[in-house]
Amino acid sequence: MTENEKNGKLIFIKTVVNHSINHDSFKITLSKPREKDAKVVNVYIKPSLIKGEVMYSFTYRYTTKDEVKNYKQDQLEDMIRELLNIHFYNAVLYHETKELTLLQNNKGKASLVSKYLKSKVEVETTHDHQKIRYIDAGAAWLKDLGIAGADGKILDKAQDKYKQINRYIELLDHLLSGEDVRDVTNIADMGSGKGYLTFALYDFLVNYKNWRVKISGYELREDLATMCYNIAMKNDFIGLNFQQKNIEDISLSNVDMVVALHACDIATDMAIAKGIQADARFIVVAPCCHKQVRLAMKHSNQLTPILKYGILEERLSELLTDGIRALMLEAYGYKTQVIEFVSHEHTAKNIMITAVKKSGFDASHIEKVEAVRKLFGIEYHHLQRLMDDWEKTKGTNKS
């Protein structure tokens, strides 16, 4: 065992084992797969009480699904050691108000970063649907936005929103945990709406992660932009601002992350295009209202007989819309995932696309887009049209 492993990996593993021996409540996130095309992109570990026995629940996150396996206490050390030696470089251990981060590189160097958190991470140990609340229900801004009552409890009518908030922060936390994010400071939220997800991200990054960030929320409806701005000022969220502006008119520069949550129809394409053109390191969208592709689609293939049923054609057009968006992001050098945002039981708008800039342009993905368009008779995809127009203004043609 190298000195680096003794000082980093071994300490991390022994800390986890000590917590398990003491029956402490903790959670672990494993990230940054060692293999370039790894099928499992993250593993999440939590204690779980199953039939009166403390077990350890491992959630293996694939690009399209989650798989959960439970292990006994005496298996925990070997499982974590295997994951860190063979499958993942990085890991974060959360225990009450302390965060311990293990960072490794492909040369075998390992280091530990420990810090204290302002708020406690709660982990439920019940087997069914363990919940981690990233956002405290008593946060003042939740009351101001009408999600919580004066008593600090989430209103019955806002329970789904609160679940969506925590799911959103969970996904963003996992997305950022595997990256060097010291310089991720400037975030643009396109179509911020009523702002509850924008406030949640700012609160989490600034008050929980202790980052210095600036988030700008852009919203077309002036009354919502004004309301959110006033609530941000009331809560002393000095790095959070809101502007009344159409996505099409936004000019981005020096932006690290572009977010668009439930931007309607082609507004999602405009947000993605703005992110790519600004060379943002992260692009995160949760699309809704997929109208453009369905109207531009005149298919004549083996699926046409069953697509005479409107609802099936509508669902296919949604898949094609988001699939082409993912391919376009890949074309411009982004490692892209399409994942479930919120369960179908809470909202039908449940797809999220996350993209992390990794490389340069790859024309092979444009060829795949063209093949899909030809197969389904899609006249054009708005994101592709936006990028083609942008390339022309630059005097290039990458298609």
Within the chain, residue ranges assigned H as helices are 3-7, 9-21, 73-82, 140-144, 159-177, 196-203, 222-234, 266-277, 292-296, 310-331, 363-375, 382-394
- The answer to whether residue 122 is domain-embedded is no
Percent of the chain at pLDDT > 90 equals: 52
Cα Rg of the chain (Å, integer): 22
- The answer to whether residue 193 is domain-embedded is yes
Residues 213 and 298 in one domain: yes
- The answer to whether residue 132 is domain-embedded is no
Q: Which of 277, 364, 371, 285 is CA-nearest to residue 325?
A: 285
Residues 88 and 145 in one domain: no
CATH number of the domain within which 275 lies: 3.40.50.150
For residue 380, what pLDDT is reported?
A: 94
Per DSSP, the three-state class of 235 is coil
Range of the domain at 156: 140-394
Residues 44 and 183 in one domain: no
Residues 42 and 170 in one domain: no
Residues 155 and 61 in one domain: no
Tokens of 73: 């206490």
Specify the number of domains making up the chain: 2
Question: pLDDT digits over 287-309, tens only?
Answer: 988 889 989 988 888 888 888 88
Question: pLDDT digits over 311-345, tens only?
Answer: 988 889 899 999 999 999 999 999 999 988 865 44
More confident residue, 70 or 348: 70
Question: pLDDT digits over 382-393, tens only?
Answer: 999 999 999 988
Residues 301 and 368 in one domain: yes
Is the pLDDT assigned to residue 128 strictly greater than 70?
no
- The answer to whether residue 203 is domain-embedded is yes
Provide the whole-model pTM.
0.69
Residues 98 and 152 in one domain: no
Interacting residues of 112 by C-beta distance below 8 A, sequence separation 6+: 7, 8, 11, 12, 100, 101, 102, 103
Tokens of 145: 């936005």
Residues 87 and 158 in one domain: no
pLDDT band at 118 (very low <50, low <70, confident <90, very high): low
pLDDT band at 130 (very low <50, low <70, confident <90, very high): very low
- The answer to whether residue 235 is domain-embedded is yes
Residues 74 and 170 in one domain: no
Q: Which of 87, 74, 11, 38 is CA-nearest to residue 337?
A: 38
For the chain, helix (H) and strand (E) counts, in that order, are 12, 14
Residues 106 and 230 in one domain: no
